Amino acid sequence: MQPGGTLVAAIRSEPRTFNRYASRDLTTEIISRLTQDKLIRINRATDQIEPRLADRWTRSADGLEYTLHLRPGVEFSDGVPFTSADVLFSFKAVYDPKTASPLGDAMRVGGRPLQVSAPTPSTVVIRFPSPFAPGLRLLDNLPILPRHLLQKALDQGTLASAWGPATPPSQMAGLGPFVLSEYQPGQRLVFTRNPHFWGKDARGRPLPYLDRLILDIVPDQNAELLRLEAGQIDMTTDAVRPEDYRSLKQAADQGRVKLIDLGVGLNADSLWFNLNRKSKAGDPRAAWLQSEAFRRAISYAVDRRRFADTVYLGEGVPVYGPISPANHTWFWTGTPETPYDPARARALLAGLGLTDRQGNGRLEDRAGRPVRFTLLTAKGSTALERGASVIRDALAKVGVTVDVVGLDVGALVQRFTTNAYDAVYFSVYSTDTDPALQLDFWLSSGSAHLWNFGEQTPATPWEAQIDDLMRRQVAAPRLADRQALFDQVQKIFAEHLPVLQFVAPRIYVAMSTRVTNATPALQRPQLLWNPEVLAVRGSSGTR
Amino acid sequence: MVRYLLRRLGFAVLLVFVVASASLVLTRLAPGDFATEAFGLGANPRTVARARARYGLDEPILTQYGLWLAHAARLDFGTSLLYGRPVAQLIPQRAANTALLALAALLLATLVGLPLGVVSGSRPGPLATAIRLVSLLLLSMPPLVTSLLFVFVAARTGWFPIGGMSSLDVSGFGLVRDVLWHLTLPAVALALPVAAMFERLQSQAMAEALTQPFVLAARARGVPPGRLIWRDALRVAIRPCASVYGLVVGTLLSGSFIVEIVTAWPGLGRLMYDALRARDVYLVTGCAAAGALFLAAGSVISDLALAAADPRVRAQ
Does position B313 have pLDDT exceeding 80, yes or no?
A: no
List, as one string, the DSSP characters of chain B: -HHHHHHHHHHHHHHHHHHHHHHHHHHHHSSS-HHHHHH-TT--HHHHHHHHHHHTTTS-HHHHHHHHHHHHHTT---B-TTTSSBHHHHHHHHHHHHHHHHHHHHHHHHHHHHHHHHHHHHSTTHHHHHHHHHHHHHHTS-HHHHHHHHHHHHHHH-SS-SS-SS-TT--THHHHHHHHHHHHHHHHHHHHHHHHHHHHHHHHHHHHHTTSHHHHHHHHTT--HHHIIIIIIHHHHTHHHHHHHHHHHHHHHHHHHHHHHHTT--SHHHHHHHHHHHT-HHHHHHHHHHHHHHHHHHHHHHHHHHHHH-HHHHH-
Whole-number pLDDT of residue B315 = 67
Distance CA A474, CA A132 (A): 5
Question: pLDDT tens, A63-88?
Answer: 999 999 999 999 999 999 999 999 99
At B254 the pLDDT is 63
pLDDT of residue B1: 67
Note the pLDDT tens digit of each residue in A257-269: 999 999 999 999 9
Read off the pTM.
Answer: 0.86
* Window 89-108 of A, Cβ < 8 Å to B: 97-98, 100-102, 104-105
Least confident of A80-94, A512-526, B203-217, B284-298: B284-298
Residue to substitute from B34, B44, B46, B170, interface A, most A β-carbons within 10 A: B44
Pairing of strands A112-113, A115-120: unpaired
pLDDT in the model for residue A543: 47
Residues of chain A with pLDDT > 70: what percent? 99
The mean pLDDT value of chain A amounts to: 93
Q: Which of the residue ranges A91-100, A287-296, A444-453, B7-16 would you say has the lowest mean pLDDT?
A: B7-16
pLDDT at B36: 84
Instruction: Give contacts of A 4-23 with B, CB under 8 A.
Output: 13-14, 16-17, 23
Per-residue model confidence (pLDDT) at position B314: 67
**Burial grade of A231 (CB within 10 A; 0-12, 13-18, 19 or more):** middle
Calculate Rg over the CA atoms of chain B: 24
pLDDT of residue A541: 39
Residue A481: which pLDDT band, with cuts at 50, 70 and 90? Answer: very high
Q: How far apart are CA A135 and CA A138, in angstroms?
A: 6
Q: Is A263 helix (H, G, I), strand (E, B) or coil?
A: strand
The mean pLDDT value for B279-305 works out to: 84
- Determine whether the interchain pair B94/A98 forms a contact, defined as Cβ–Cβ distance below 8 Å: no
Mutate to test the interface with B, among A413, A418, A427, A451 (most CBs of B within 10 A): A413
Q: Which of B30, B162, B265 sits opposite A232 (nearest CB)?
A: B162
What tens digit of pLDDT does each residue of B210-254 get?
888 998 898 888 888 888 888 888 888 888 888 787 778 777 876
CA distance A236 to A510: 7
Instruction: Summarize pLDDT for B59-99 with one digit per residue, the tens.
Output: 898 998 999 999 888 888 888 988 888 899 889 988 899 98
Closest-CA residue to B273 (of A103, A408, A496, A235): A408
Residue A105 CA to residue A111 CA, distance in Å, equals 7
- Residue A84 and residue A118 in contact, taking contact as beta carbons nearer than 8 Å: yes
Contact status, residue B191 vs residue A211, Cβ threshold 8 Å: no
Residues of A in contact with B50 (CB under 8 A): 97-98, 100
Confidence of residue A8 (pLDDT cuts 50, 70, 90): very high
pLDDT, tens digit, for every residue of A315-331? 999 999 999 999 999 99
- The answer to whether B256 touches B98, Cβ cutoff 8 Å, is yes
Residue B161 has pLDDT above 90, yes or no: no
| Helical spans, DSSP H, in A59-157 | 84-95, 147-155
Q: Average pLDDT over chain B, rounded to whole? A: 86
- Angle (CA) B176-B177-B178 rounded to 5° is 90
- Using DSSP bridges, classify how beta strands A212-217 and A6-11 pair: parallel, antiparallel or unpaired: parallel
Mutation target to probe the A interface, by most A beta carbons within 10 A, among B168, B185, B262, B280 is B168
Among residues B123, B236, B144, B124, the alpha carbon closest in space to that of B193 is found at B144
Does the distance separating the beta carbons of A217 and B262 come in below 8 Å?
no
Q: Do A218 and B264 touch (CB under 8 A)?
A: yes
Q: Which of A227, A377, A407, A440 should we substitute to test contact with B (largest number of B Cβ atoms within 10 Å)?
A: A227
User: What residues does A364 pair with on adjacent strands?
Assistant: A355, A370
CA B137 to chain centre: 21
Q: How many CB atoms lie within 10 A of CB B18?
A: 12
Q: What percent of chain A has pLDDT over 90?
A: 80
B61 contacts chain A (CB < 8 A): no
Burial B253-281 (b: 16+ CB within 10 A, else e): bebbbbbbbbbbbbbbbbbbbbbbbbbbb
Q: Quickly state the pLDDT bin for B255 (edges 50, 70, 90).
A: low
Residues of B with Cβ-Cβ distance to A187 under 8 angstroms: 164-166, 264, 266
Model confidence pLDDT, tens digit, residues A170-218? 999 999 999 999 999 889 999 999 999 999 999 999 999 999 999 999 8
pLDDT, one tens digit per residue, over A225-236 is 988 988 889 998
Query: Looking at residues A286-295, what average pLDDT do you find?
Result: 97
CA-CA distances (angstroms) from residue B168 to A187, A288, A433, A532?
10, 60, 39, 22
Contacts of A52 (CB under 8 A, 6+ apart): A37, A38, A39, A40, A41, A71
A159 interfacial to chain B (CB closer than 8 Å): no
* Residue B269 confidence class, pLDDT cut points 50, 70, 90: confident
Query: Which helix (DSSP H) or strand (DSSP E) does residue A189 occupy?
Result: strand A188-193
Question: What pLDDT is stored for residue A540 in this prediction?
Answer: 41
Q: Is the dihedral of CA A474, A476, A482, A484 positive or negative?
A: negative
Q: What is the predicted pLDDT for the residue at A542?
A: 41
Residue-wise pLDDT for A102-129, tens only, equals: 898 889 998 899 999 999 999 999 999 9
- The alpha carbon of residue B100 is apart from the nearest alpha carbon of chain A, in Å, by 15
Please give the pLDDT value at position B152.
85
Residue A502's φ and ψ, nearest 5 degrees, are -120, -50
Measured CA to CA, the distance from residue A3 to residue A5 in angstroms comes to 7
ipTM entry: 0.77
CB B303 within 8 A of CB B8: yes
